[in-house]
């Protein structure tokens, strides 16, 4: 099994690529896509798979796919999932993963974008989709002047806390969000993230689970 900390997180080239993704997107005024985001998506992907009692190998693939899912942003923001799949293939081969494992990771990376027909093509893909869309918070907003915020900036800035939990007995995946409604309304969240939440629900369906969204202690989905 791949030593994740050494082989993936510890790879200097991968971390340079992630840093440049963050820098390039900053030039476009996009949200933060740094190593922090990569680590959160990696951990939440693993938590989902472990919570649903997938085997250790599948969880290991999820950890890798979650960490690398946005690396295609170094090529272009649009269809960065597909770009990332091609970009990362030589690296995955160096990890001595079998062809099936590599295929699972490539499918997860290539299918996580909502704007490019994101689909759950395997369990890892479904977990990455949910983990990625769950990372909403003010740390991701890079603009200092609130008067320059676009709607997506404002909604992210309003989110004070997110918690993703898995109940294997109820087969339920829950995303709980705390929003400062003086900054953005709950409706404002839905206007921006409804497509993401639909993808999360479909991904949960793929995992034979229900998806629940709770905002400010009220179930809204």
Task: Name beta bridge partners: 215.
Answer: 177, 218
The DSSP letter of residue 148 is G
Rg (CA), the chain: 17
Contact 155, 136 (CB under 8 A): yes
Q: Where are the beta strands (DSSP E) in 58-126?
A: none
Max intra-chain CA distance, the chain: 51
Residue ranges per structural domain of the chain: 4-219
Output the pLDDT for position 117: 66
Q: What are phi and psi of 215, to 5 degrees?
A: -120, 125
Euclidean distance between CA atoms 162 and 155, whole angstroms = 13
First to last CA, the chain: 38
Helix (H, G, I), strand (E, B) or coil at 207: coil
pTM for this prediction: 0.94
- Please report where in the chains the tokens 């709770």 appear, as a residue: 214
Per-residue pLDDT 10s for the chain (221 aa) are 778 778 899 899 999 999 999 999 989 888 999 999 999 999 999 999 999 999 999 999 999 999 999 999 999 888 899 999 999 999 999 998 999 999 999 999 999 987 766 789 999 999 999 999 999 999 999 988 888 899 999 999 999 999 999 999 999 999 999 999 999 999 999 888 999 999 999 999 999 999 999 999 999 98
CA proximity to 69, closest of 2, 116, 28, 27: 116
Q: Give the number of C-alpha atoms closer than 13 A to the C-alpha of residue 221, restricted to the C-beta side.
A: 26
The residues facing 211 across adjacent strands are: 173
Cβ burial of 196 (10 Å; 0-12, 13-18, 19+) is: middle
User: In 3D, which of 141, 9, 112, 6 has the Cα closest to residue 67?
Assistant: 9
Fold of 4-219: Hypothetical protein af1432 (1.10.3210)
């Amino acid at each position: 099994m791949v030593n994740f900390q050494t082989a993936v997180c510890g790879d200097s080239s991968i971390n340079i690529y992630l840093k440049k993704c963050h820098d390039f997107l900053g030039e476009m005024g996009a949200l933060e896509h740094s190593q922090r985001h990569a680590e959160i998506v990696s951990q939440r992907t693993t938590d989902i798979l472990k919570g649903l009692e997938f085997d250790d190998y599948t969880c290991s693939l999820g950890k890798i796919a979650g960490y690398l899912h946005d690396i295609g942003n170094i090529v272009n923001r649009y269809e960065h999932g597909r770009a990332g799949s091609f970009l990362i293939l030589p690296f995955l081969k160096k990890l001595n993963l079998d062809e099936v494992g590599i295929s699972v990771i490539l499918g997860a990376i290539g299918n996580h974008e909502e704007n490019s027909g994101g689909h759950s093509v395997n369990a890892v893909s479904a977990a990455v989709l949910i983990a990625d869309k769950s990372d909403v918070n003010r740390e991701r907003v890079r603009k200092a002047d609130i008067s320059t915020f676009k709607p997506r900036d404002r909604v992210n800035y309003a989110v004070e806390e997110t918690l993703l939990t898995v109940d294997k007995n109820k087969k339920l995946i829950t995303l709980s969000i705390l929003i400062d409604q003086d900054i953005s309304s709950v409706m404002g969240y839905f206007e921006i993230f409804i497509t993401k939440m639909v993808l999360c629900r479909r991904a949960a369906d793929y995992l034979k689970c229900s998806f629940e969204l709770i905002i400010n202690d009220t179930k809204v989905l």
